[in-house]
Amino acid sequence: MNKEFIKRRKNLMRMMGEDAIAILPAATVKTRNRDVEHDYRQDSDFLYVTGFEEPEAVAVLIPGRGHGQYILFSRERNEEMETWHGRRAGQQGALERYDADDAFPISDIDEILPGLLEQRQRVFYTMGISDEFDQRVLAWLKQLRDNSRSGTQAPHELISLDYFLHEMRLFKSPKEIKLMKTAAKASVNAHQRALQSCKPGLYEYQVEAELLYEFKQAGCATAYPSIVGGGANGCILHYTENNEALQDGDLLLIDAGAEYQGYASDITRTFPVNGTFSDAQRALYDLVLEAQLAAIDAVQPGNHWDQPHIEAVKVLTKGMVKLGILKGRPAQLIKEGAYRKYYMHRTGHWLGLDVHDVGDYKIDDQWRIFEPGMVLTVEPGIYIPEGSRGVPKCYWNTGIRIEDDVRVTKDGNEVLTQALVKSSEDIEALMATSVA
Ligand code: GLY
Ligand code: MN
Ligand code: MN
């Protein structure tokens, strides 16, 4: 991967132009409770540019600088600290393993960084992620301005780094796709295991445990908190308590994805707790699947971002009229947005280092056109809570979503999560088997 990081930094510096400097801080460590910290997750922008996974680090890019264009500030080696808290690359590691041109202890940054800023006109930095680091950047700039009477040149412009960097991140390289496929495979195995393990009486967290088992077996983290919602809980879009018993006759909605080397996958499957769909559940399920397949078909280079959503809404609205859930003419119901009562989210999002990945959805107020290398989710659903007036009772307490990860290719698309069963028949067949 080293070559790929070098290429990214080179591309980014080319876009920034001469006379510029970029500052990227690592994510901070966050306290969970008292002496316990949350699992550390590197900032995605920082990771994309450096591949460096330690906290307390700052990457600086200075295009065209003779003494080195890539400077990494990081923690110093320290035998005692490393004995207690784990290994550090140190400055030598930064140079040798992470290809920094120059490396300094993070404790020296206040002395060194103002000097680097002084020679540059434009500062690329993304404000608003860390208040504390924002204040430090502003303090360095102020220090230079305050010294301007002694001939110091302060940069004139502060520019958000997002624009260039997130545009780069939107297009996944073959190496990134390979990592995303590894994450996808772990998620497929996890959902398969959950389908095979599920039975009435289990608690939602017990099914979650099956997911985590497969994630960890594959060396993955969880990309986001897993949603394991039985019956009515499937109608709560961000349900994560996962603490209720699964009931015979209910559906179970699982939205869970593994993260591999920083890259996320994001899969949802919905299936009957007892292994067999009721007629009403099957009718709704088959409808959501029809919508998902139509939406995936619309992921083609040249189509725009909203086309999968438009296709999903068409199929869902027509189907809901047929099942007596909505009343009226589909075209009119779509115009009025009547479907939103039971389908209230959009059909997908970009996927990459972040599960809701970066990248613009519109350009100049027009939906973005799909291009090869983009990766997105396709995830229509229907959610009918208890007491939904005018809806036949057999559909109440039913939440269904089907979500896959899709890459735009030169002449169509590739579903990265294709290996996971999806039709109601295939789901039932898999549920009739046990974990290998
Ligand atoms: N798992 C988050 C989402 O589907 O967007
Ligand atoms: Mn998603
Ligand atoms: Mn999801």
- Ligand 1 centroid distance, CA of 337 (Å): 22
Burial state string for 339-350 with b = 16 or more CB within 10 A and e = fewer than 16:
beebbeebbbbb
Query: Domain residue spans in the chain?
Result: 2-168, 171-431
Q: Report, in this order, helix, strand and coil percent for the chain, each rounded to 5.
A: 40, 20, 40
Is 205 close to ligand 1, i.e. is its CB under 6 Å away? no
pLDDT exceeds 80 at position 63: yes
For residue 366, the Cα-to-chain-centroid distance in whole angstroms is 23
Torsion over CA: 427, 431, 432, 435 (sign): positive
Is 255 close to ligand 1, i.e. is its CB under 6 Å away? yes
pLDDT exceeds 80 at position 181: yes
What pLDDT was estimated at residue 1?
73
- Ligand 3 centroid distance, CA of 291 (Å): 16
Edge to edge, the sheet with strand 251-256 lists 227-230, 251-256, 267-272
Pick from 52, 62, 42: nearest CA to 112: 62
Q: Which residues are catalytic?
A: 35, 238, 255, 266, 345, 349, 356, 379, 383, 401, 403
Q: Tell me if 165 sits within 8 A of 49, measured CB to CB.
A: yes
- Pocket test of ligand 1: the residue of 269, 349, 351, 361 to mutate, having most ligand atoms within 8 Å of its CB, is 349
Kindly indicate the confidence band of residue 428, based on its pLDDT and cuts at 50, 70 and 90: very high
Residues 375-399: what's their mean pLDDT? 98
Pick the residue whose CA is nearest to atom 5 on ligand 1: 356
Residues 222-240: what's their mean pLDDT? 98
pLDDT exceeds 80 at position 148: no
What the block records as the tokens of 65 is 């600088």
For domain 171-431, the question of CATH label 3.40.50.10860 is answered with: no
Q: Which of 59-73, 139-153, 225-239, 407-421 has the lowest mean pLDDT?
A: 139-153
Is the whole-model pTM more than 0.75?
yes
What pLDDT was estimated at residue 153?
84
Q: Tell me if 390 sits within 8 A of 327, measured CB to CB.
A: yes
What pLDDT was estimated at residue 151?
79
- Ligand 2 centroid distance, CA of 306 (Å): 15
What pLDDT was estimated at residue 147?
84
What pLDDT was estimated at residue 328?
97
pLDDT exceeds 80 at position 149: no
Calculate the alpha carbon distances from 294 to 47, 313, 378 in Å.
Answer: 35, 10, 10
Q: What is the pLDDT of residues 9-33, one digit of tens each?
A: 999 999 999 999 999 999 999 999 9
Report the CATH number of the 2-168 domain: 3.40.350.10
